[in-house]
Amino acid sequence: FTRDDLAGLQVLITAGGTREPLDPVRYLSNRSSGKMGYALARAAVQRGARVTLVSAPTSLLPPAGVELVSVETAREMYRAVMERFAEQDVVVKAAAVADYRPVVCAEQKIKKGTDSLILELVRNPDILSELGLRKAPRQILVGFAAETEDLEANALQKVEKKNLDLLVANDVTQPGAGFGSDTNIVKMVYPGGHIQPLPLMDKLSLAHRIWDAVVELRSGKSPA
């Protein structure tokens, strides 16, 4: 695959599921494998972009040619992304960022004792919303949404609320879609309400479809 339509562009991709520590040996996390974000990074390198991959822990090897920034928590990801946002042409947020973290991380391993244990959680910063607020007109912002109900309504709301150029929405209850899988079934949702459903495809093919859409958005054309 050789196409240079992202040559000269600096792109940042986030991937993986953040880990929110409870104590020195435990964390809260989610089922994200990081495969979609890593496929996006691989495809972007193939098309000539300079790629920064901000990754929460995964079992994947980073694609050759990317700058890897490893993070664990949502707050570390927030800092890593914000520090680099000004120089990006495109940001794609494929990471599954924990919405909440434990209020405290215990200094020592929490001992078992009482029959029940209540964990208090606090909201994490929403990285993508913050980027939407700071976005310059030349910058393109792409989000992902994993939904288990009301996919289109939630996606349309998110694309507007977070000031995105494109939201890639998937119903993670469908077989072959979402977490851990090598394939995905998504709808591309644009501000203004245009929705383009895509068939089941492998994550690298989907990554290329997303970069096709970014190229189109950059050229100022309306989405196909």
Task: Name the nearest CA neighbour of 39 among 18, 13, 21.
Answer: 13
- Residue 162 marked in a binding site: yes
Calculate the dihedral angle through the C-alpha atoms of 87, 89, 94, 100, rounding to the nearest 10 degrees: 50
- Residue 164 marked in a binding site: no
Phi, psi dihedrals of residue 106, rounded to the nearest 5°: -60, 140
Instruction: Compare residues 6 and 54 and give the one whose CB is closer to ligand C5P.
Output: 54
- Residue 128 marked in a binding site: yes
Residue 154: active-site member: no
- Residue 127 marked in a binding site: yes
Distances in whole angstroms, Cα of residue 34 to Cα of each of 2, 94, 182: 24, 8, 11
Taking the complex as a whole, the smallest distance from the CB of residue 137 to ligand C5P amounts, in Å, to 21
State how far the Cα of 50 lies from the Cα of 44, in Å rounded to an integer.
8
Give me the DSSP letters along 71-100: --SHHHHHHHHHHHHTT-SEEEE--B--SE
- The reply to whether 72 sits near ligand C5P by the rule CB under 6 A is no
- Residue 150 marked in a binding site: no
* C-beta neighbour count of 92 within 10 angstroms: 27
Among 93, 101, 135, 208, binds ligand C5P (CB under 6 A): 93
Instruction: Compare residues 7 and 153 and give the one whose CB is closer to ligand C5P.
Output: 153
Among 99, 148, 176, 182, binds ligand C5P (CB under 6 A): 99
Calculate the dihedral angle through the C-alpha atoms of 51, 57, 61, 64, rounding to the nearest 10 degrees: 20
Among 56, 97, 156, 159, binds ligand C5P (CB under 6 A): 97
Which window, 5-13, 143-151, 185-193, 210-218, contacts ligand C5P (CB under 6 A)? 143-151
**Can you say which residues are annotated as belonging to the binding site?**
99, 109, 125-128, 144, 158, 162
**Contact positions toward ligand C5P, by CB under 6 A?**
74, 93, 95, 97, 99, 124, 126-128, 143-145, 158
Which amino acids are annotated catalytic?
A: 30
